[in-house]
Amino acid sequence: MAGYLTTHVLDTARGCPAEGLRIELYRIEGGTRTHLKSLVTNSDGRTDEQILPEDSFATGVYELVFHAGDYLDFAKASAERPRFLDVVPVRFCMSEASHYHVPLLLSPFGYSTYRGS
């Protein structure tokens, strides 16, 4: 099995997928952070393509940067108070060729992530 990377972003405050949230993928190597790709979530809170497809997969340290503040402002999720979250960086290791799924559960004042399936 070849490795690949996906995500799913859910707006837990509104109880719906987080549509229109910008995500950036970086590879971390030897202290250098290299931008690989930018994507935007669709109406299901997923990206239309794999974040890192099988033909580009390599083991190593990666970082997904979720632009939560822009999404929350657009969704008017934190209208009563000033913005708390801006970007949510999630740094993780992919150590073998496998499906890596990194979901983000997002609300205006907190978030949670884990290795999904």
96: left (phi over 0), alpha (psi -120 to 50) or beta: beta
Q: What single-letter DSSP state applies at residue 55?
A: G
pLDDT higher than 90, residue 53? yes
Helix (H) or strand (E) holding 26: strand 22-29
Domains, in order of start, for the chain: 4-106 (2.60.40.180)
The greatest distance separating any two alpha carbons of the chain, rounded to the nearest whole angstrom, comes to: 47
Q: What is the per-residue pLDDT across 24-44, written as a single tens digit (0 to 9) for each?
A: 999 999 999 999 999 999 999
| Residue 37, SS3 per DSSP | strand
Say what the pLDDT of residue 41 is.
98
Distance of CA 104 to the CA centre of its chain: 6
Kindly report, residue by residue over 55-112, the tens digit of the pLDDT.
Answer: 999 999 999 999 999 999 887 755 567 789 999 999 999 999 999 999 999 999 999 9
In the chain, the amino acid numbered 39 is: L
